[in-house]
Chains A and B, each alone.
Chain A
Amino acid sequence: MVTSYNGEVLRVNLTERTIKAEPLDMDKAVKYIGGRGLGTRILLDEGCATVDPLSPENKLIYITGPMTGTAVPTGGRYMVVTKSPLTGMIACSNSGGIWGAKLKYAGWDAIIVEGKADAPVYLEINDHEVTLHDASDLWGKRSLDVEATLKARHEGYSVLNIGPAGENQSLLAAIMNDGDRAAGRSGVGAVMGSKNLKAIVVKASKTQIEPNDVDALRTAAVDSLKKIRENGVTGGGLPTYGTAVLVNIINNIGALPTRNWQESYHPEADSYSGETMKDTSLVKNSACHRCPIGCGRVVKLEDGSVVGGPEYEPLWAYGANCGNTNLDAINKANEICNEVGLDAISTPCTIAAAMELYQRGYITDADCDGVPLVWGSTEAITTWTEWMGTSKNALAKLMADGSYRLCDHYGVPELSMSVKKQEIPAYDARAIQGIGITYATSNRGGCHVRGYMISPEVLGLPEQLDRTTVEGKAEWAKIFQDLTAVIDAMGMCLFSSFALGAPEYAALLNAGTGTNYDVNGLLEVGDRIYNLERVFNKVAGMKPEDDRLPKRIGEEKIVNGPSEGMKSEIKLTLPQYYEARGWKEAFPTEETLKRLGLEDLIQYL
């Protein structure tokens, strides 16, 4: 039967320097769809939940979904699945560009990298011709240099690589591809660095993926494309302003965390908003493979260079969260993240935590190498980003492992605004109750895109919920988490969900793979993936208390702005969420695993 899976997985053992093709386990593929779901199942089955994340025993899985590379709008994503060195739990970092689609066109659904090379290497994939090359001349080079060098050496290839941060095994290191696209979160770049793997270049002779039902896929894709184009967000707001447009909205509801979450409203936020970016530094949009939205930004720095522009997250994190108002400095700092290969969320959040440590006297001028960590300092945000990426000094090295380890070093871990040691993104959960549930229960630690409750609670999609109330939020968060897991597993972009719902995803998936999912069946797969990740975390050593917001967010009130006085109701909503999931003390019950066809995981409870 023809399906939009290739049916083949590439396994590369760097210790032995062996390369082999293996058949994709189709039963597993269908049960977990692909990408995030299938990758996690493979990682668990291959015994990686209990290994040291930076040891040769950890595996690094680059995995596509069944929609990756197909003619489906936004179907161009790949994911990096591994055990995170930042959280010690499951990592799944998702990226766009064209690299993932090329991997698929080359004939592979996934690459499983294991072991550790004894010297720096890079991997060349040219359809089924796969070669390991010496990368000693690339080691130490910045991500964009590596990309340019390898593109010149290998014509027609797409490049994925790590920068100095990944080589230094910074726990905030990203994996970069196609210039400014990043599998950014949970320190996946450090795992790649620990294996001495600098880059993977891919070329493919194919340019399309044949689906199970060509006509059905065309119909479903045309329908989805129409909905994406006609939707106000995906057809208007995102192409025009990018995700940056959120700066003013989130600030105007009083949920823009400021100065490491000490405040929640930044009066000067318009100075780095999407509107200001469009009027000043924006050059043009950019779009990933097969994407009709084009939310990416290309911006011009004041020094004249043209670079990939920041998303909402780094605009907030280098802006309000560092008390800074200078857009050019944010554009520059974001570019440094891309060059050294750092997570552009966790890096500025860690700088914000360091600024609070400086404010409170834990960090002193003696630690700062001439660049004090003062709120709002443009020099501090750019310089410390560079120093974190290159491990310039003792403090930078400490900061490169994230805010939790930094604040813990000074005896004040509560100043780290993180969940499971990963930094929390740009929405104050005291002002938006549902997103707090997502933060606390995200299997990969502090994260907004594991169940984007901002959509119903702030943006009114698919319907407007009251952000300040808790009623029904646990169930909403669960459904958003489940649908998100499906979209990730399929290899589509989460932003498509502003315009599409479960019926559209089911139609696309069924046409691609020959499955027969209805809406409930599809959401059940999402539920299954979420439970699978949770079991992985249990095996990895997660405890119930890890589903916890930091004290400032979980217990203290907002002190300024339109949401002044609001506080998180997470103590109320967390038990409701566990009940909705069929979990007891943060983990699935036997009955829940049985209901989801995960009987074989009961042994891990």
Chain B
Amino acid sequence: MLEVRLFATFREGRDKILFMEHKPGMTGYDIITPLAIPEEEIAIFLVDGRHSRLNTVLEDGSVLALFPPVGGG
């Protein structure tokens, strides 16, 4: 199972947290496609707290976090 956490505008019309069944060889693209999140809107993609690329192959049990461009200080 994968835990997918959505933040900021990605929560609009979607759940904050959802769980997806893990399949071998899955990448970030297999997460964003069913969620209808365009790749170009993703500024930060975290896998278990580490910045990652969408083509990273995901391991079962991982926590994913997706953010659009945000910042502050």
Q: Say whether A associates with B.
A: yes
Tell me, in angstroms, the Cα distance from A207 to B55 when the chains sit together. Answer: 53
Interface centre among A254, A274, A562 (most CB of B within 10 A): A562
Tell me, in angstroms, the Cα distance from A455 to B69 when the chains sit together. Answer: 11
Of the listed stretches B4-12, B18-26, B27-35, chain A binds B4-12
Residue A201 interfacial (CB < 8 Å): no
Docked-complex contact B44 and A459, CB < 8 angstroms: yes
Docked-complex contact B51 and A466, CB < 8 angstroms: yes
Docked-complex contact A232 and B67, CB < 8 angstroms: no
> For B9, what are the chain A residues with a Cβ–Cβ distance below 8 Å?
236, 240
Asked if A562 meets B48 with Cβ closer than 8 Å, knowing A237-B71, A241-B8, A275-B7, the reply is yes
> For A238, what are the chain B residues with a Cβ–Cβ distance below 8 Å?
70-72
Q: What is the CB-to-nearest-CB distance from B1 to chain A, in angstroms, rounded to a whole number? A: 18
Residue B73 interfacial (CB < 8 Å): yes
Docked-complex contact A454 and B7, CB < 8 angstroms: no
> For A243, what are the chain B residues with a Cβ–Cβ distance below 8 Å?
71-73
> For A236, what are the chain B residues with a Cβ–Cβ distance below 8 Å?
9, 68-70
Tell me, in angstroms, the Cα distance from A245 to B72 when the chains sit together. Answer: 7
Q: What is the CB-to-nearest-CB distance from A493 to chain B, in angstroms, rounded to a whole number? A: 10
Docked-complex contact B49 and A561, CB < 8 angstroms: yes
> For A513, what are the chain B residues with a Cβ–Cβ distance below 8 Å?
none
Docked-complex contact B73 and A254, CB < 8 angstroms: no
Q: What is the CB-to-nearest-CB distance from A236 to chain B, in angstroms, rounded to a whole number? A: 6
From the candidates A237, A242, A467, name the one contacting B69 in the complex (CB within 8 A): A237
Docked-complex contact B73 and A232, CB < 8 angstroms: no
Docked-complex contact A237 and B51, CB < 8 angstroms: no
Docked-complex contact B43 and A248, CB < 8 angstroms: no
Residue A494 interfacial (CB < 8 Å): yes
> For B63, what are the chain A residues with a Cβ–Cβ distance below 8 Å?
562
Within residues 431 to 490 of chain A, which ones have a CB less than 8 A from any CB in chain B?
Answer: 448-449, 452, 454-455, 458-461, 464, 466-468
Docked-complex contact B44 and A249, CB < 8 angstroms: yes
Q: What is the CB-to-nearest-CB distance from B9 to chain A, in angstroms, rounded to a whole number? A: 7
Tell me, in angstroms, the Cα distance from A312 to B72 when the chains sit together. Answer: 7
> For B50, what are the chain A residues with a Cβ–Cβ distance below 8 Å?
253, 468, 562
Residue A8 interfacial (CB < 8 Å): no
Residue B16 interfacial (CB < 8 Å): yes
Interface band, chain A: 35 or more
Within residues 237 to 269 of chain A, which ones have a CB less than 8 A from any CB in chain B?
Answer: 237-238, 240-246, 248-249, 252-254
Tell me, in angstroms, the Cα distance from A458 to B43 when the chains sit together. Answer: 10
Tell me, in angstroms, the Cα distance from A237 to B8 when the chains sit together. Answer: 8
> For B68, what are the chain A residues with a Cβ–Cβ distance below 8 Å?
232, 236-237
Tell me, in angstroms, the Cα distance from A531 to B63 when the chains sit together. Answer: 44
Within residues 45 to 61 of chain B, which ones have a CB less than 8 A from any CB in chain A?
Answer: 46, 48-51
- DSSP majority for the A interface? helix
Docked-complex contact B72 and A246, CB < 8 angstroms: yes
Residue B2 interfacial (CB < 8 Å): no
Residue of B nearest to A231 (CB): B69
Asked if A449 meets B73 with Cβ closer than 8 Å, knowing A252-B49, A464-B51, A562-B50, the reply is yes
Q: What is the CB-to-nearest-CB distance from B49 to chain A, in angstroms, rounded to a whole number? A: 2
> For B7, what are the chain A residues with a Cβ–Cβ distance below 8 Å?
245, 248-249, 252, 275
Interface centre among A237, A244, A498 (most CB of B within 10 A): A237
Tell me, in angstroms, the Cα distance from A254 to B50 when the chains sit together. Answer: 9
Tell me, in angstroms, the Cα distance from A468 to B67 when the chains sit together. Answer: 20
Q: What is the CB-to-nearest-CB distance from A272 to chain B, in angstroms, rounded to a whole number? A: 14
Docked-complex contact A452 and B73, CB < 8 angstroms: yes
Residue of A nearest to B16 (CB): A270
Residue of B nearest to A273 (CB): B7
Tell me, in angstroms, the Cα distance from A459 to B67 when the chains sit together. Answer: 10
Residue A311 interfacial (CB < 8 Å): yes
Docked-complex contact A454 and B69, CB < 8 angstroms: no
Tell me, in angstroms, the Cα distance from A328 to B36 when the chains sit together. Answer: 34
Residue of A nearest to B66 (CB): A252
Docked-complex contact A242 and B48, CB < 8 angstroms: no
Q: What is the CB-to-nearest-CB distance from B57 to chain A, in angstroms, rounded to a whole number? A: 19
Tell me, in angstroms, the Cα distance from A494 to B72 when the chains sit together. Answer: 10
Q: What is the CB-to-nearest-CB distance from A474 to chain B, in angstroms, rounded to a whole number? A: 21
Residue A338 interfacial (CB < 8 Å): no
Docked-complex contact A448 and B69, CB < 8 angstroms: no
Binding site for A on B (CB under 8 A): 5, 7-9, 11, 16, 43-44, 46, 48-51, 63, 65, 67-73
In the complex, besides A254-B49, A495-B71, A562-B46, 20 extra interface pairs with C-beta distance below 8 angstroms are A232-B43, A232-B69, A233-B69, A233-B70, A236-B9, A237-B72, A241-B70, A245-B72, A248-B5, A252-B7, A252-B65, A274-B8, A452-B73, A458-B51, A459-B43, A459-B69, A459-B70, A459-B71, A460-B51, A562-B63
A-B residue pairs in contact (CB < 8 Å), sample of 23: A232-B43, A232-B70, A236-B70, A237-B68, A241-B8, A243-B71, A243-B73, A248-B5, A249-B70, A275-B7, A275-B8, A275-B11, A295-B72, A311-B72, A312-B72, A458-B44, A459-B70, A468-B50, A494-B73, A495-B71, A561-B49, A562-B48, A562-B49
For the complex of A and B, 10 pairs with smallest distance between CB atoms: A562-B49, A232-B69, A243-B72, A237-B70, A233-B71, A245-B70, A252-B65, A246-B72, A254-B49, A312-B72
